[in-house]
Structure 1
Amino acid sequence: MLYERIQSPPSLSKFIDCFWVIESDDTTVHQQKIIPDGFPEIIFHYGDPYRINISGEWSAQSNQLLAGQIRNHFLLENTGRSGMIGIKFRPQGITTLFGTNMEPLTDDVVELETTLPGQFDPVSSMLLGKDHFSKKITALSSFLEDSVNSKETSDQLIDKVLQLIFTRNGVLSVSEIVDQLDVSERKLERSFKKFIGLSPKFYCRIIRFNYIFKLIKEQKLSWSELAYLSGYYDQSHFIKNFQEFTGEDPSKYFFEEETMANFFLNRPVEK
């Protein structure tokens, strides 16, 4: 299985975290767990279709998808060879670029056309075709650069809140955000749900959970040390939170295994 992350050009870095590619010629059916990472995505499948189980039942996915924020893990399953290219947006990136209200997309992966009809028509055929993924990334980058214009729906409050959350690795309360940014809690909640799709409190939980993977990647720690450094009250609280997001005990989780979940959660260190 090929997992590759491609940095977005500087002109798009305000909206897009990265592009990614997953490819495999193995037609053996494998189930993959997808775990919350705090970043919405647009995905194009140019391989065989995938199936998804996000609410207890399996269903076929379309080949062009928009994935909103998720609050729990879900399952994917290939039906043949894998070939997909994804745009991992900044948390507020889809709303900023396209004006989309993200709240109705929470805990859902929908057909791209239902939310952004016709938006990617100029490049969709090429993205779903047989060209090498490097050409697809180049074409997608150029298309998105042309799409960026003065109509973007930016929100300085959301930008400041997200900067604070990531600087603190999610270890802060809503009251701290309200006090530091001098904003009402009601305004914060309303804006956050539109741009992100979640409450700021729950989003902080996701980012704090993500920080666990960064710490494990950088240094060898005991579970109690890991719980303390990632801002949990105690080890039992840490284990409970880990289980809520992954469905697994951290001691039984394969952090080094090559999976989609680990590929997305093991983010490169930003310089």
Structure 2
Amino acid sequence: MHQHRVASKELSHIVERMYEIDIPHASTFEDNQVIPIGMGTISVVMKGNPRIKGINGIRPFPKYALGGQYFPTFSFDSDIPLQYYGIALRPTATYKLFDTYLAEIQNDFIRLDEVMGDKADQLRDRMLELEDTEERFDLLENFILQMLPVSPKYNHIDVIIDLIYEKQGILKVQELCEHEDISRRYLEKKFKKHIGFTPGQFIRQVRFNFTCAQIAEGTEPVNDILVKFGYYDRSHFMKKFKKYHSNDLSVLTGDEDNLFKIAFSRIMRTDSENTFHP
């Protein structure tokens, strides 16, 4: 069972979505493949022995962690049933909350107590005392609310990232520069420092994620979706999809539920519900 909650308005400039992943049996890396979502995550493991497989090999995953964006992809397994809660953070949130640029933890994770001390154990202990998923979401939301800066500052990067999400990645880098009246060189320097990607790479990633999300919804023909997002034919899109997942689009279009289809693609689905505009 997998559940989600869109962030409240108070948190929408920090949090994209909260989610619960509950896998009631042992699972493999092949079962749990995740494409890059372009943002950092806070993960709290409630039960299980997860391992992460990515560009840095296979490593045990701690009971809680702050993770960066994995590129090109990552997967996880557990030799027993696994349950954990995640918070998908807006791309600049790791810096605002933990003074850690997303670029610094790309393809990596750090233990949550390394950036917030004993509060990490306190959070997990309180979550373990609760049984209801919505109550745990409430706890996570209050936890982030208490960590917000008193006077949050918004800059060009925040405004531009909002615009990229609003347009679902269907725009060009020059449009971003014109929107904020800044040079391309300045924008690229800021993006590499904060996000670890160039603006163009980030745009393409967001566009790909929204494309996958809409294909997974199954409300429009696949070819129509691909045209809308600027892929000139299915083979063009599949080259990208194969790089991240496999050569079989049925993971999104098939009737059988899987973690990629019903959980991680959904993180991008309702971004318009929680877009923050300073």
C-alpha separation in 2, matches of 1:185 and 1:13: 27
Is the alpha carbon distance of 1:243 and 1:8 closer, same or farther for their aligned partners in structure 2, counting shifts above 3 Å? same
Identity of aligned residues (%): 23
Structure 2 letter corresponding to 1:79: D
CA distance in 2, matches of 1:24, 1:166: 30
Structure 1 residues 115 and 193: alpha-carbon distance in aligned structure 2, compared to 1, 3 A threshold: farther
What SS does the corresponding residue of 2:107 show, helix, strand or coil?
Answer: coil
Unaligned runs of 5+ in 1: none
| TM-score (ref. length: structure 2) | 0.85
Structure 1 stretch 103-112 or stretch 134-143: which is displaced more? Answer: 134-143
Secondary structure of the 2:36 match is: coil
Specify whether residues 251 and 25 from structure 1 end up closer, same or farther in structure 2 by C-alpha distance, changes over 3 A only.
closer
Task: State how far apart, in whole Å, the 2-side matches of 1:135 and 1:57 are.
Answer: 35
**For the Cα contact (< 8 Å) 1:34–1:261, is it kept in 2?**
yes
- Structure 2 distance, partners of 1:50, 1:80, is 9
Query: Deviation of residue 242 (structure 1)?
Result: 1.7
**Comparing 249-258 and 37-46, the one that deviates more:** 249-258
* Amino acid corresponding to residue 126 of structure 1 in structure 2: R
Relative to structure 1, is the Cα distance of residues 226 and 25 closer, same or farther in structure 2, using a 3 angstrom cutoff? closer
| Cα distance in 1 for residues equivalent to 2:253 and 2:74 | 17
- Cα distance, 1:163–1:7 mapped onto 2, change above 3 Å: closer
Offset, 1:250: 4.8
Q: Paired residue for 2:210?
A: 211
Alpha-carbon distance in 2 for matches of 1:35, 1:160: 25
Q: Distance in 1 between matches of 2:188 and 2:156?
A: 11
Q: Which residue is 1:30 aligned to?
A: 28
CA contact (8 A) 1:227 1:233 kept: yes
Q: Is 1:90 matched with 2:80? A: no
Alignment of 1:110-129 (within 5 A): 110-118=110-118, 120-127=120-127, 129=128
Q: Which runs of 5+ in 2 are unaligned?
A: 274-278
Alpha-carbon shift at residue 118 of structure 1 (Å): 4.3
Q: 1:143 matched to which residue of 2?
A: 143
- The residue identity in structure 1 corresponding to 2:207 is R
Q: Does 1:15 align with 2:11?
A: no
SS at match of 1:258: coil
Distance 1:192 1:118, change over 3 A: farther
Alignment-derived partner of residue 187 in structure 2:
188
TM-score, normalised to structure 1, is: 0.87
Question: Which range moves more in the overlay, 191-200 or 161-170?
Answer: 191-200
> Which of 212, 226, 251 is residue 253 of structure 1 equivalent to?
251
State the Cα RMSD in Å.
2.3
The amino acid that maps onto 2:145 is: E
Look up the equivalent residue of 1:76 and give its one-letter code. Answer: F
CA contact under 8 A between 2:52 and 2:58: conserved in structure 1?
yes
- 2:276 equivalent in structure 1: none
**Counterpart in the other structure of 1:264:** 264
Q: Do the aligned partners of 1:68 and 1:109 also contact (CA within 8 Å) in 2? A: yes
Offset of residue 196 of structure 1: 2.6
1:228-243 equivalences under 5 Å are: 228-243=227-242
What is the identity, as a one-letter code, of the residue corresponding to 2:17?
A: C
Is residue 2:154 matched to residue 1:155? yes
Instruction: Report the 3-state secondary structure (helix = DSSP H, G, I; strand = E; otherwise coil) of the residue aligned with 1:120.
Output: helix
Aligned residue identity for 1:86: G
Give the counterpart letter for 1:43 in structure 2.
S
Q: Give secondary structure in 2 for the equivalent of 1:220.
A: coil
Q: How many residues align?
A: 265
Does the 8 Å contact 1:12/1:145 carry over to 2? yes
Q: CA deviation at 1:87?
A: 1.1
2:70 maps to a residue whose letter is I
Q: Is the 8 A contact 2:64 2:120 kept in 1?
A: no
